[in-house]
Amino acid sequence: MRIKELLNQRFSAAMQAAGIPNECSPALALSGKPQFGDYQANGAMGAAKRLKTNPRDLATKILDNLDLDGIADKLEIAGPGFINIYLSSKFLASAVADNAPKSGNHNPQTIVVDYSSPNLAKEMHVGHLRSTIIGDAVARVLEYQGHKVVRQNHMGDWGTQFGMLIAELELQLSEGEQAELALNDLEVFYQQSKKHFDEDPEFADTARAYVVKLQSGDQHCRTLWQKFIQVSVAHNLDIYQQLNVGLSREHIMPESAYNDDLQNVLDDLTAKGLAVESDGAKVVFLEELADKNGDPSVMIVQKSGGGFLYATSDLAAMRYRVNKLGADRILFYIDARQSLHMKQVFTAARKAGYAPETVGLEHHPFGTMMGKDGRPFKTRSGGTVKLADLLVEAVERAERLLRDKNTDLSDDDIKIIARKVGIGAIKYADLSKTRTNDYIFDWDAMMSFEGNTAPYLQYAYTRIRSIFRKANIDPQSFNAEINIIEPQEKALAMKLLQFEEIIDQVASEGYPHILCNYVYELASAFMSFYEHCPILKDGVDEQSQQSRLQLSKQTSETIAKGLDLLGIEVMEKM
């Protein structure tokens, strides 16, 4: 249940009855301090300004018309006209009781989420991590809300680099190498082909010829290209699985999928007078994005040699997503450095009518992953960090950590848990930072069992589960009445009740850190509840014990659900 929504309805009705115009909002917010109640309605001040009357008098009038029977125990006017709302414990208890996380939506949309989308020329590296896990978390949240989410992995499998790569593959195969082995380390393979390209003019000529041949559909080149793509895609799918990211083969809609449509896009843009010739190339001038001097922004859609560009496939993708996929909203999880590209594509798509105003186009940018030295994250020798290596290290570190903790876990258990903790730590460290900022990758901070980290939250979950184990109760089937008496019980109940509001916010803004902060605050509220409100100790009366177990159960479910929506797994013990 969304308490804020309920209060909003009641306040709006009261304000209307008090003769306040509809545009005036009740301005509801959680109270910062307990002495100001649980929620505050601050709308009387704004409304009074508009009506040119005294805000306290207006607040009184609102209260006279307000019906919060069974919802609030106490209402008071404070200061210049704040209305403090004290929720009734009974109401809170019953609201929590039917608040268990459940998905669904009355107003489902079709939402396309473009994320991960690595280039296949090289192996996935840390630069792909953020798009992959932030996009995945938001996709999960939207799905949980009941939307139809269409994941689109817009993989970069086309472009001039592939001429060089398939020329190299041909060379290595002719030397008796097997494709899988030759491409075992894509990074090394890429370096080798680059070296050949730079040092051997004959090779460079072949590579350039292959670009053209590949584009014109030459069978030999296509076969080599397909081999390369196949191996590269397999690498990526393996990473997704390790990362517990919900991307599989069916979500791949690579750039090359739009090849046949690129000429159509160009023809259409030309017919509409949007694409024009400039120095032999075809470009779209966008006055909407003009710079300080009034010069329009230029988006090239065809090079002078005839080749199409990144922007052209994005425009083709836009048409496909709107027309074929029926998108109501399209979200792009792409590095902030591509902001101009996104603006250009959005503006052109609107002008060309590929995406009507009713379809939301949203670039959700993110900053760069930095090393502890504040510079972009690199290996010790200054190379790019392969994602595969990073994940192995994460799991190894988690395993060491678990062994150091001296748990009574079996070896097999440690292996399974280490994977969840290691991967969870990496993902959470990223997800919990405001995505638009750069963030510092720090092993020690993310692996800590204290603070706003995945291990802390996973541990909080196991603690609650262990209470049930100790009591010999199966939490699944447990159900008891909630009674809210202690302030810590109330604080915990209030937190539990915010879950859906938080989910709404993440769904509309695409900032997973809001959910991370919430889960962390929930776990913290539980810890202080658990400290002050004993559960299994002697002397706790039956009713309190049952009620507290119920609160605990719901907390564990909400933590697990929150983490699940972030793509992070929990475990029963650690």
- The residue ranges that bind ligand ARG (CB under 6 A) are 114, 117-119, 154, 156, 314, 317, 332, 334
| CA geometry: angle 490, 495, 500, nearest 5 deg | 135
In whole angstroms, how close is the CB of 238 to ligand ARG at the nearest point? Answer: 18
Report the relative pairing of strands 281-286 and 275-278 from DSSP bridges: antiparallel
- Partnered with residue 302 across adjacent β-strands are 282, 308
Helix axes 3-17, 43-51, angle to 10 degrees: 20
In whole angstroms, how close is the CB of 338 to ligand ARG at the nearest point? Answer: 7
Which is closer to ligand ARG, CB of 261 or CB of 569?
261
In whole angstroms, how close is the CB of 341 to ligand ARG at the nearest point? Answer: 7
In whole angstroms, how close is the CB of 154 to ligand ARG at the nearest point? Answer: 4
What letters, b where the CB count within 10 A reaches 16 and e where it falls short, cover 416-451?
ebbbbbbbbbbbbbbbbbebeeebebeeeebbbbee
Which is closer to ligand ARG, CB of 125 or CB of 513?
125
In whole angstroms, how close is the CB of 390 to ligand ARG at the nearest point? Answer: 17
> Token digits for 155?
């993989």
Which is closer to ligand ARG, CB of 210 or CB of 332?
332
Which is closer to ligand ARG, CB of 210 or CB of 320?
320
In whole angstroms, how close is the CB of 114 to ligand ARG at the nearest point? Answer: 5
In whole angstroms, how close is the CB of 30 to ligand ARG at the nearest point? Answer: 37
Are 58 and 18 spatial neighbours (Cβ–Cβ below 8 Å)?
Answer: yes
Which is closer to ligand ARG, CB of 341 or CB of 463?
341
Which is closer to ligand ARG, CB of 44 or CB of 316?
316
Which is closer to ligand ARG, CB of 117 or CB of 558?
117
Which is closer to ligand ARG, CB of 53 or CB of 297?
297
Burial class (CB in 10 A: 0-12, 13-18, 19+), 122: buried
In whole angstroms, how close is the CB of 518 to ligand ARG at the nearest point? Answer: 29
Alpha-carbon distances, residue 307 vs 117, 158, 214, 310 (angstroms): 21, 11, 12, 10
Which is closer to ligand ARG, CB of 344 or CB of 452?
344
Distance of CA 39 to the CA centre of its chain: 29
In whole angstroms, how close is the CB of 342 to ligand ARG at the nearest point? Answer: 8
φ/ψ of residue 32, rounded to 5: -75, -30
In whole angstroms, how close is the CB of 144 to ligand ARG at the nearest point? Answer: 24
DSSP single-letter state for residue 184 = S
Which is closer to ligand ARG, CB of 359 or CB of 446?
359
Which is closer to ligand ARG, CB of 136 or CB of 170?
136
Alpha-carbon distances, residue 472 vs 123, 465, 475, 534 (angstroms): 49, 11, 9, 17
C-alpha–C-alpha distance, residues 431 and 567, integer Å = 10
In whole angstroms, how close is the CB of 310 to ligand ARG at the nearest point? Answer: 7
DSSP 359-399: SEEEE-----EE-TTSSB---TTSPPPBHHHHHHHHHHHHH
End-to-end CA, the chain:
32
Nearest CA-CA partner of 488 in 99, 6, 4, 34: 34
C-alpha–C-alpha distance, residues 446 and 181, integer Å = 35
Which is closer to ligand ARG, CB of 12 or CB of 119?
119
> Token digits for 367?
């900053």
DSSP single-letter state for residue 531 = H
* Beta strands, E only, 303-352: 329-332
Which is closer to ligand ARG, CB of 62 or CB of 284?
284
In whole angstroms, how close is the CB of 481 to ligand ARG at the nearest point? Answer: 51
User: How many CA within 13 A on the CB side of residue 180?
Assistant: 1
In whole angstroms, how close is the CB of 274 to ligand ARG at the nearest point? Answer: 19
Which is closer to ligand ARG, CB of 114 or CB of 136?
114
In whole angstroms, how close is the CB of 169 to ligand ARG at the nearest point? Answer: 21
Burial class (CB in 10 A: 0-12, 13-18, 19+), 35: exposed
Nearest CA-CA partner of 332 in 364, 289, 356, 302: 364
The 3-class SS string of 480-503 reads CCCCCCCHHHHHHHHHHHCHHHHH
